[in-house]
Amino acid sequence: MNLEFAYFMKVNVAVILFYAFYRLFFYKDTFFKLRRTTLLAFFALALLHPLLNIQEWLKDQAPIADVIYLYNSVILPETTVKASNIAVDWGKVLCTCGLGMYAVGVFVLLIRFLVQLSSILWLAYSSPKVKIHDVDVRQLDNNAGPFSFFRWIFLCPDSLSEKETDEILTHERTHVSQWHSIDVMISELMVIFCWVNPFVWLLKREVRHNLEYLADNKVIQSGYDSKSYQYHLLGLAHSHRQSSDLYNSFNVLHLKNRISMMNKQRSHGINRTKYVMFIPLAGMLMLLSNIEMVARNFSLAEILDKRGMNESSPQLYSNMDALRLVSRMEELFPGLNEKKIPTVFPPFALATEKNENNVNNQVFTVVEEMPRFPGGDAALLQYIGKSIKYPVEAQASGIQGRVIVSFVVNKDGSICDAEVVRGIDPLLDREAMRVINAFPTWRPGHQRGRPVRVKYTVPITFRLS
């Protein structure tokens, strides 16, 4: 998973969580100004929380090593070799097609956005400017429904009575004075970026509804009769069939909801305190996002060193003991952990030490600077995936499963002492060993500034289509 796709997924997951949170806690109250602020905060935090960096703080926290192991063992991908790899890589084809469809959707929606924006700008330029009830208005000449966009108000005064004109101007001046078009533009741009996520469309709808609630509430508070104003809305909705675009329209967007909200009893002020619940939700998202980045970008040894620990620390060995128990259970119950073995096992997975009396030949499991495959873990996965060939005999016999191979990275980066920790069949075991023994030279691990030998474990899954 590249960084761009990871960022996109985090943004969309945040949008889903925020919409569910909104519907659960804020949907039915009448704190329209607070709701407006919260909805804008949803968009801002969805976009920014993956970028907020608290990784240095997280690395100082004691449980971080356990979290990294959990993340590596559950979420990060493993090396999988499929029998169909010799043919078309359908996964890559589907990803390419999906990316193409997403790009087409973004392009179409962006063109639509620019066309709408251009049409409003042209209408503002071409419409005559008149003053109605001391308010500057762009006069429409085709009996179109009233609307506003940023500082402009558009209406056709010839089709309205004096009272209706006053109500409309009060409504639209609220949109203008409170800069509601900013909310509309932000929600439209979010839809363009995340158009594949249905929840971003729902969140955009809630933004539009809340802006209309704000304007309607201002009309009622200005002293206009509520029933008369609602009949006026019904009449305009029947006369002008408009669609929701970039502007703030007087007579569209779920009129039933607007009338229901106008007749709703005002929420008690004490209920405003529930908006504080949004703070821990935002904090949780930022925490999870940064834990994911720490697990990807920092080795366990770096974090242990920052905490003043090393490979002999008792806290570390408690993790090792737990992992040995999991490994033992897997031996007794094959398949128990079928999808939870990491691509590159955490370096504390198998604690071994050879020639204890000879420090120079000691095999470390945790060092300050772990050995690294040329190009990193992603390159390691790619190398294994391209190098391994699914044995034809194993395919014909229907043999599949996971082979776990361990090896030692020497001080010069060479590979030695490769062995099958858990095998499936001699055909698959030999193929896995062949690729491991053919590894190029690694960047060796270092402990206290000198190169050392470090043991690694790699699982390789052979899977028939």
Question: Three-class SS of residue 384?
Answer: helix
Q: Where are the domains of the chain?
A: 3-70+89-286, 300-463
Tally of CB atoms within 10 A around 380: 20
Are 427 and 389 in contact, with CB atoms under 8 Å apart? no
Are the C-beta atoms of residues 113 and 192 closer than 8 Å to each other? yes
Quick one: 251 exposed, middle or buried, by C-beta within 10 A (0-12, 13-18, 19+)?
Answer: buried
Distance CA 368, CA 246 (A): 55
Are 297 and 63 in contact by the 8 Å Cβ rule? The answer is no
Q: Are 180 and 208 in contact (CB under 8 A)?
A: no
Question: Average pLDDT of 171-196?
Answer: 95
Tell me the percentage of the chain whose pLDDT exceeds 70.
72
* Per-residue model confidence (pLDDT) at position 311: 42
Burial of 179 (0-12, 13-18, 19+ CB in 10 A): exposed
What's 420's DSSP letter? E
pTM (2 d.p.): 0.61
Each residue's pLDDT tens digit, 387-423? 888 888 888 888 888 888 889 999 999 999 999 988 8
Q: Where are the alpha helices (DSSP H) in 49-89?
A: 55-59, 64-74
Nearest to 175 by CA among 203, 138, 140, 213: 213
Contact yes or no for 172/148 (Cβ under 8 A): yes
Residue 465 scores a pLDDT above 70: no
Q: So what CATH class is 300-463?
A: alpha beta
Of 388, 382, 386, residue with least CA distance to 405 = 388
Pick from 304, 353, 395: nearest CA to 85: 395
DSSP-H helix ranges across 271-313: 278-297, 300-306
Dihedral of CA 157/165/134/207: which sign? negative
Give the model's pLDDT for residue 120: 92
Indicate if the pLDDT at residue 288 is higher than 80. no
Q: Do residues 248 and 148 lie in contact, with contact meaning Cβ atoms separated by under 8 Å?
A: yes
Answer whether 145's CB lies under 8 Å from 236's CB.
Answer: yes
pLDDT digits (tens, 9 = 90+) for 429-458: 999 999 999 999 999 988 888 899 988 888
Residue range 174-183, pLDDT digits in tens: 999 999 999 9
